[in-house]
Amino acid sequence: DAKTTQPNSMESNEEEPVHLPCNHSTISGTDYIHWYRQLPSQGPEYVIHGLTSNVNNRMASLAIAEDRKSSTLILHRATLRDAAVYYCILRVNAGGTSYGKLTFGQGTILTVHP
């Protein structure tokens, strides 16, 4: 299975943008890039996903490199509530169904300073 590499921790100030990097140099052509985050004492929460093109939703943006070997999760204005562990996950395209298992690494611990 293709693996992801993320920095162990990052820090940001409130209301500033945050760029969380993820390397996945062995990604296959049909693997989707998913991001989840886990707030303290809660279960993981879906953030965003993409295949090739950059994606935006109400929570964040996902920028995917042209060669797909890396991606960046962008939080446009960090808030204290964004302090969490962020996981970059590759979802295997299991044919017509997508119940490919989520393989969690250790993720990036994001600290947001007031």
Partner 1 sequence: NAGVTQTPKFQVLKTGQSMTLQCAQDMNHEYMSWYRQDPGMGLRLIHYSVGAGITDQGEVPNGYNVSRSTTEDFPLRLLSAAPSQTSVYFCASSRIQGFQPQHFGDGTRLSIL
Residues that bind partner 1 (CB under 8 A): 32, 34, 36, 41-46, 49, 87, 91, 96-99, 101-107
Contact present, 35 and 88 (Cβ < 8 Å): yes
Q: Please, which residue, 24 or 91, has the CB nearer to partner 1?
A: 91
Least distance from partner 1 to the Cβ atom of residue 114, Å = 25
Q: What is the DSSP letter of 53?
A: S
Question: How far is the C-alpha of 9 from the C-alpha of 55, rounded, in Å?
Answer: 24
Question: How far is the C-alpha of 67 from the C-alpha of 9, rounded, in Å?
Answer: 25
Least distance from partner 1 to the Cβ atom of residue 112, Å = 20
Q: Please, which residue, 61 or 104, has the CB nearer to partner 1?
A: 104
